[in-house]
Each structure stands twice: as structure tokens, then as C-alpha cells.
Amino acid sequence: MTTTTAPELFVKMILDRWYASIANCDTLLNSLTDETLQKEIAPGKNRGIYLLGHLIAVHDDLLILLDMGGKLYPELNEPFIKFPDKAVQQLPTVSELRTFWVKQSEVIKQKFDKLKPEEWFEKHTAVNAEDFEKEPHRNKLNIVVTRTSHLQYHLGQLQLLK
């Protein structure tokens, strides 16, 4: 049996869940047509295209929060975070968003793979050193936990399009 230290084990468990969630989203997106993603998940609710763009925009923020560089798609912040669905008329196409999603997932994986287990327990960029001293749970790994939950929430919504 291989002995794994606690930090390595915690990181592995959380990143495994992140990657499984990304894979589940990939599978679902591949099963939905571009036309289907234009539909609302329920009457008067967000469309699939909006949820996809929103996930990409939120995952872009992940890069900044984890101090892994700048956003890949800063132009998505306004239509998919700042404003609700249907408030912005000009959106990227579903095809463009699918391409962004795949590219972004690859970049995030490359950056995640470079971090050592202990680095995941360092502070993220939205917390100052003084607050981090008092609240060490405000670390990079916890950001991945919250973003995984966020992804799962919207994945559940996207399932309604099937």
C-alpha cells in the first residue's frame, strides 16, 4: 500500500472531484445540440448558452483567485457575470463557447498540475495575509471546492435541457 500524506490526499480527493465534474459537464455538453443550448432550462429561466458562458467566465476568475495568471476570456465577464441572461444582445455563438470551454479546461488542468500539494493550502488572492492568518481555510484548495459546487449546481440546471 502506498502511503500518502494528508495534504496530498486532500488535494487528490478535491481535484479528482473537480476533474470528474468537468468530465461530466463535457459529456452533457457533447450530448446537447447548439440549438438545444439556445433554449431556457425552464420557462423564464436562463438559457443553456448563458449557463455555459457563465461557467467559462467564473472559471476565468479562478485563474486570478489562484494566482495562475490572467483571464483567458475577459470579454465574457460583462455578458455572463455582470448581467443576467437576455440583458446583453450580442453573445458569442454556442460553437465559440464550446471551443472556449475546452481550451480553458485544458489550461486550468495544466496550471493545476504544476502546483505542489502544500501550495494548495496557501492563501488565494482575494484574502489578505492578516485575514488568512485568522482564517487559514481561505486557501486555494477551498476555492476549487466552492467552484466545483458551483459547477455541479449549473450542471444540474443544464440537465433539464435533455
Could you give the CA distance from residue 47 to residue 68 in angstroms, rounded to a whole number?
Answer: 30
Give the global pTM. Answer: 0.95
Residue with cell 476568475: 61
> What is the dotted CATH code of the domain comprising 6-159?
1.20.120.450
The structural domains of the chain, with segments of one domain joined by +, span: 6-159
Higher pLDDT, 1 or 134: 134
Residue 48 contacts residue 34 (beta carbons within 8 Å): no
pLDDT at 12 over 70: yes
Residue 138 contacts residue 127 (beta carbons within 8 Å): yes
Convert the pLDDT of each residue in 50-68 to its tens digit. 999 999 999 999 999 999 9
Mean pLDDT for the chain overall: 97
Q: Please give the DSSP secondary-structure letter assigned to residue 41.
A: S
Convert the pLDDT of each residue in 102-120 to its tens digit. 999 999 999 999 999 999 9
Residue 54: name the closest of 81, 30, 78 by CA.
81
Residue 72 contacts residue 133 (beta carbons within 8 Å): no
Residue 39, number of CB atoms within 10 A of its CB? 14
Residue 129, number of CB atoms within 10 A of its CB? 7
